[in-house]
Amino acid sequence: MSGDEPDWTRFWEGKRAFRSFLFYRIYERFRARSYFSLLKNMNLKDKRILELGGGSGYICKLICEKFDCKGTVVDNNEKAYEIFKRVIGNERVNYILEDMFKHEKRGYDLVFSDGLIEHFHLGKREDIISLHRKFAKKGGFVMFFVPKKSWLVERFMSMEEGYEEKMDSKQLIEETSIPGLKLVSTNKDFHMIGVLYKAE
């Protein structure tokens, strides 16, 4: 399956077990420091944020709780949505079960994805990157996180359900620096690298 888009149903089916999802939540809370670091100088109170391909919605929930904002998650996987309803769902995060290319709302203050664009080959990846900019309002922000290219990640943190391209900071910036986005800052942790842009 190395050349295929991931089997997200299989991935999220595995997270339905309590022990597996408990580990996932601990992992994401540890990694949340990277999101918070990139967003630390932003005032997101009462702002609208959008996560594309957000899976269970847990990352969006963490950001909304930290910065006192309202979140929307767009994902078309029913297994991930089941987890959201059972474990994550709260008044801060609205989950829309649909294809991200069919989402119609615009003007979000922050649009982001974590672990999304690296699962698509270049043609479609470019379309998804552009989609982030389309949903962000002028003066808003766009953020991407992808797994970094390192021995540790390659050896122990690769996704088994399908295609995943690890990146270094240079590649991530080159691919996401599209018209209408101005680079603000970058960040990395033991697993992922992130980049934050301002929408112009």
**pLDDT of residue 1 exceeding 50:** no
Tell me the per-residue pLDDT of 22-77, one tens digit each, with 9 for 90 and over. Answer: 676 777 788 888 889 999 989 999 999 999 999 889 899 999 999 999 999 999 98
The first and second tokens of residue 91, run together, are 């008044």
More confident residue, 192 or 13: 192
128-156 mean pLDDT: 89
Which pLDDT does position 56 carry in this prediction? 86
Non-local CB neighbours of 151 within 8 Å, separated by 6+ positions:
none
| Average pLDDT taken over every residue of the chain | 86
Residues in the chain: 200
| CA gap 109, 116 in Å, rounded | 20
CA 171 to chain centre: 17
Tell me the per-residue pLDDT of 82-105, one tens digit each, with 9 for 90 and over. Answer: 888 887 767 789 999 999 999 999
Which pLDDT does position 2 carry in this prediction? 43
Asked if residue 24 lies in contact with residue 80, where contact means CB atoms within 8 angstroms, the answer is no
Residue 112, beta-bridge partner list: 51, 143
What's 8-199's CATH class? Answer: alpha beta
Give, for 81, the enclosing helix (H) or strand (E).
Answer: helix 78-83
Domain ranges of the chain: 8-199
Does pTM top 0.75 for this prediction?
yes
- Strands in 181-188's sheet, in edge-to-edge order, are 93-97, 70-75, 48-52, 108-114, 136-147, 192-199, 181-188
